[in-house]
Amino acid sequence: RTRTKGREGAAHKVTASDVFVKICHDELTALMSHGEGPALIMAPKGQPTGVMMVGLQGSGKTTTCAKIAKWLQKQGSKPLLVAADMQRPAAVEQLKILGQQIGVPVFNVAGATPLDICKQGLAHARGAMNDVVVYDTAGRLAIDEALMSELGDIKAAVSPENVLLVIDAMIGQDAVKTSKAFHDRLGLTGVVL
């Protein structure tokens, strides 16, 4: 233990737990601020960059799509949000509200399949001169073949440069198993915790 002086000049004991918390804080700060490589892989000039968001239901994909679109907009990009989560009834409306709040257009085709929505969204982005397309895809309560097949078809059709898994950090060790399952089928380029 060591003693340091606080703001008022009184002695303050620095405990082992204080040191441990400080080390953890410093390591997390370093990890989060010095990532390896660029945040996103960008498409060649003149082509829209695809960002496909995947994950389980309730992981925060739709909100994260809007956050990424806002971040891209601040970087000078002209993003388009594609609402392709037809599994969760309120997902399209949620993305439309978020898009309106941040000033980013949202593309959807009522009654179409997620695959068709993504294909048409990419075509729309090219016509509207959007340089980034963020695809909000459906999740399920658990990984199943129907989900993975749908996501695989979307990836094959729109060839996104980025496939980001959005995962709730609170699931603990299951995050590794879930990430591996998505990566084995889709070839993830990143993970958003």
pLDDT along the chain (193 residues), means of 10: 52 80 72 65 92 93 96 96 92 96 97 97 96 95 91 97 93 86 93 88
CA–CA dist 80, 69 (Å, integer):
8
pLDDT at residue 66, as a whole number: 97
pTM of the predicted model, to two decimals? 0.82
CA–CA dist 173, 188 (Å, integer):
18
Nearest to 132 by CA among 59, 57, 66, 37: 66
The answer to whether residues 81 and 163 touch, using CB atoms and an 8 Å cutoff, is: no
Return the C-alpha torsion angle 28, 162, 149, 172, nearest 10: 0
The answer to whether residues 51 and 134 touch, using CB atoms and an 8 Å cutoff, is: yes
* Sign (positive or negative) of CA dihedral 55, 103, 107, 77: negative
pLDDT at residue 157, as a whole number: 97
The amino acid that residue 184 corresponds to is D
Question: 53 CB contacts (<8 Å, ≥6 apart)?
Answer: 61, 64, 65, 68, 134, 135, 136, 137, 164, 166
Nearest to 62 by CA among 95, 105, 104, 107: 95
3-state helix, strand, coil in the chain (%, to 5): 45, 20, 35
First-to-final CA distance of the chain: 35
